[in-house]
Amino acid sequence: MSRVTLTQFLIEQQRNENHIPADLRLLIEVVARAVKTISVHVGKGAVAGVLGSAETENVQGEVQKKLDVIANELLLHANEWGGHLAAMASEELEGPSLIPNRYPKGEYLLVFDPLDGSSNIDVNISVGTIFSVLRCPEGVVDPTAEAFLQPGRTQVAAGYAVYGPSTMLVLTVGTGTHGFTLDREFGAWVLTQPDMQIPPDTREFSINASRARLWEAPVARYISELQAGTEGPRGQDFNMRWVASMVADVHRIMTRGGIFLYPLDERNRKNGGHLRLLYEANPMSFLVEQAGGVASTGRERVLDLQPTGLHQRVPVILGSRNEVERVVAYHREAL
């Protein structure tokens, strides 16, 4: 049986669809190779001595895990020499990482969260990597932070890797969302879930219920209706799923539907929300929309937001279309 690899898929996108240029194809392949290496480190865990704290803090003031640092360095080093990038930005770094002068520069910007959900590493729960590709603004030779401040709708590619029982890479280049599984014996990414589609309806929701006392009225109303089950206004039972790794929670939704909420609340309001717009919200929203889902802050489409800083935070509500639109309608009614 013929198998479609990531390379073949990208070449077909370049050749037949005429959708992506060669430089973008090569850039995605470099990211995919780095993800393979991260997968090896994650898979070895305590055997390789990579668990536990690195005893350092990132720019967010969060204590870094050893694998946070390793994954960040792997992505930086893998992508700095290929000639496809003008600069990179990582959730772990305060400012952009420029391409060393000894290497040629390209026309793209790479943005990434090297290891999403890293608080789960030490308990062997799925974690992941999220990335986004933007075009470098025309005429910009040495990109500053401002070059990255583009609305999510301008992304030319986005993806995530989930390091679970199998390692998967879920990718969009603007022609749908497609899932690839890593064949470890052959070292190849194999297309296993072409044209992923999020069902418009669902009976699963994903939210950190420990923050219920902090929620705004529209979210509190929505979740209370789900929890009321068959006796409530929705007339059916809903199940809650929460991994505390955005990659794992979104991958479940991408596979079988659901709604993910990390809304604005009384504690994160001063920061504008919890999730990072450039590193998490934008790439995930692009992937979800390409799979037929919806992504909103509750008040507006995520991909229409104009970023104001590299580490800007926003509320995120995404997943099955009909459920997200219900939450958005509740926000609208509360105005």
Binding residues for substrate, as ranges, are: 116-119, 208
Helices H, strands E: what count in the chain?
7, 17
Backbone angles phi, psi at 333, to 5 degrees: -65, -30
Distance between terminal CA atoms of the chain? Answer: 56
d(C-alpha 283, C-alpha 261), whole Å: 16
Helix (H) or strand (E) holding 183: strand 177-183
Identify the bridge partners of residue 183 per DSSP, sorted by sequence position: 188
DSSP single-letter state for residue 62:
P
| Total Cβ atoms within 10 A of residue 86 | 22
Annotated binding site: 91, 113, 115-119, 208, 280
What's the CA gap between 118 and 245, in Å, rounded? 8
- Coil/strand/helix, residue 106: coil
- DSSP for 202-226 reads -SEEE--GGGGGGB-HHHHHHHHHH
Q: How far apart are CA 242 and CA 168, in angstroms?
A: 20
Give the three-state DSSP class for 111. strand
Q: Which residues are annotated as a binding site for Mg(2+)?
A: 91, 113, 115-116, 280
Chain centre to alpha carbon of residue 106:
23
SS3 sequence, 269-319?
HHHCCCEEHHHHHHHHHHHHHHCCCEEECCCCEHHHCCCCCCCCEECEEEE
Please state, in angstroms and as integers, the Cα–Cα distance from residue 327 to each residue in 204, 217, 315, following that order.
14, 11, 13
Q: Measured between alpha carbons, how far is 294 from 116 in angstroms, rounded to an integer?
A: 21
